[in-house]
Structure 1
Amino acid sequence: MTVESNIFLLLITVIGFLYASVGHGGASGYLALMSLFSFSPEMMKPSALVLNILVSSVAFLFFYRSNQFRWGLFYPFAITSIPLSFIGGFFKIETHVYKIILGIILLFAAIRIISAFRRKENQAIKAIQFKKALLIGAIVGFISGILGIGGGIILGPIILLLGWGNMKETAAVSALFILVNSISGILGFLANNGIFPTQMARVILVVFIGGTLGAFYGSTKFNNTTLKYILSFVLVIASAKLIMF
């Protein structure tokens, strides 16, 4: 293995840890990193979705076992996001275009979450608005399918900013949301004659280790405030990499 390969594996392990700790699969981070290491666009999207499925599965398991998952906060988004993510998976856009779009979305989300830090953590949770959740799920699902992400990194900040869940509940919902949308997205990609990535054994192994550790600490050790800071950090770094590189 080359020095560059080792650096890549180390960085992608860290990404898996950070994203899993807040219930995310890490696709936006993987895409940014693969772009930095000059992966081909044809390889990036399906690879990110495969890793997303792996890490979000682990993250959901840990957050579910710690009793953080609320079905009522999940299914309104999933109803519309799953079919729209599949449809979005058929679309192919230029690499630099989707990098800029995703980078701007993530930066906006980071700014909004940072500005919300002054809120009290014990602030009352608002009831989810079903129709609004359906619309949000459709939009996030479609965008996610196009970009090759699970959508949790977009949905999570929205749930927090609307006050529909606390950080750990949001992480649990985001993890399952990412899982189902990533599966739907990659099916759409493959249905459109996309090529499934191979020779990913080492990457899958290190991301699994990082994701498992991140999910464990996020669900049992870190408090909600710590997770918000981690999420904001992840969003800013991912956004900067996508926009600048």
Structure 2
Amino acid sequence: MLTLEYLPFLFFIIALFYSSVGFGGGSSYLALMSLFLTDFHEIRSTALLLNICVVSIGTFLFIRSKVFDIKSFWPFLVSSIPVAYLGAQLRLSQQAFFLVLGSALILSGLAMLLRYIKTRPVSREFSLPAKIGLGGSVGLLAGVSGIGGGIFLSPTLNLLNWASPRTIAALASVFILVNSIAGLVGLTVANTFTIDLDLTWKLILGVVLGGSIGSYLSNKKFNLRILGGLTAVLVIYVGLRLVLMHGFGINI
């Protein structure tokens, strides 16, 4: 049976999987912590903090490898930050929160699987209003759900063939970073930011190690098709588990 002592190792594995495709892992951190922690606000606060630790590494590496393109990315970011901040201040019940998160994760995971199944056509550019609208919509969902939002944005952009997978992964990484920071600020303003320092530093160590390895693999252009597919399955499982547990009382 899993105990609290196993969390740093489990978070290392999650960070490795998620960072390899440009994500932070906040959704799975939330799901796992909900099994061990009772303070709902502590769960959200810790997940956002861990997100920041993981994607900071990936963002740095993407910038260094010149995949980061601020000219293409800024409309997604400027529209998402304020609504992520406001969304984080909404006071949902724990049940409503996990149902919203779980449903969004199931759809996101399915979109991720479709990305690996279908043949990719030529990339296409979006108009400025389309980027702003998509960034704002995902930013609001990120703030409400308590995660960075890249796990929603990336599959959407891949299905719409916006750019190459590495470019989308770079955008997802920085998108998660800025919106996780905005979310933490929103929680602080709403006086709902709380963490257990003794546990958090151990979790940070686990996700930094896992995130470093995953980000390295992603930036070195390894074939991440299998790892990405497994990550999609993990996302669907986490979402399904949250919906069944908090909507129907079924634990799987």
TM-score of the pair, normalised by structure 1: 0.91
> Could you tell me how far 1:3 is from its partner in structure 2?
6.7
Distance 1:110 1:133, change over 3 A: same
d(CA) in 2 for partners of 1:3 and 1:137? 37
Distance 1:147 1:5, change over 3 A: same
Count of aligned residue pairs for this structure pair? 243
2:183 matched to which residue of 1? 185
Query: Greater CA deviation, 169-178 or 55-64?
Result: 55-64
Taking the TM superposition and a 5 Å limit, the aligned residue runs for 1:42-61 are: 42-61=41-60
d(CA) in 2 for partners of 1:72 and 1:230? 32
Query: Greater CA deviation, 162-171 or 190-199?
Result: 190-199
Distance 1:232 1:98, change over 3 A: same
Q: Residue 79 of structure 2 contacts residue 132 of structure 2 at CA under 8 Å; is this kept in 1?
A: yes
- Deviation string 1:4-43 (CA, Å, 9 cap, x unpaired) is 1232222111111111111111111100111122442021
Distance 1:222 1:229, change over 3 A: farther
Secondary structure of the residue aligned to 1:241 is: helix
Q: Residue 85 of structure 1 contacts residue 184 of structure 1 at CA under 8 Å; is this kept in 2?
A: yes
- Deviation string 1:142-167 (CA, Å, 9 cap, x unpaired) is 12112211110111111111110222
d(CA) in 2 for partners of 1:64 and 1:98? 33
Matched, 1:155 2:174: no
Gaps of 5+ in 1: none
Q: Residue 19 of structure 1 contacts residue 234 of structure 1 at CA under 8 Å; is this kept in 2?
A: no
Matched, 1:169 2:163: no
Matched, 1:194 2:192: yes
1:115 matched to which residue of 2? 114
1:222 matched to which residue of 2? 222
d(CA) in 1 for partners of 2:43 and 2:190? 16
Q: Residue 13 of structure 1 contacts residue 211 of structure 1 at CA under 8 Å; is this kept in 2?
A: yes
Secondary structure of the residue aligned to 1:113 is: helix
Q: Residue 58 of structure 2 contacts residue 211 of structure 2 at CA under 8 Å; is this kept in 1?
A: yes
TM-score of the pair, normalised by structure 2: 0.89
Q: Quote the sequence identity (%).
A: 31
d(CA) in 2 for partners of 1:244 and 1:9? 25
Q: Which amino acid aligns with 1:57?
A: S
Matched, 1:90 2:89: yes
Gaps of 5+ in 2: 246-252
Distance 1:117 1:208, change over 3 A: closer
Query: Greater CA deviation, 55-64 or 69-78?
Result: 69-78
The RMSD of aligned alpha carbons is 1.9
Structure 1 residue runs of 4 or more that deviate by more than 4 Å after TM superposition: none
> Could you tell me how far 1:50 is from its partner in structure 2?
0.6
d(CA) in 2 for partners of 1:9 and 1:241? 21
d(CA) in 2 for partners of 1:224 and 1:124? 20
> Could you tell me how far 1:227 is from its partner in structure 2?
5.4
Secondary structure of the residue aligned to 1:74 is: helix
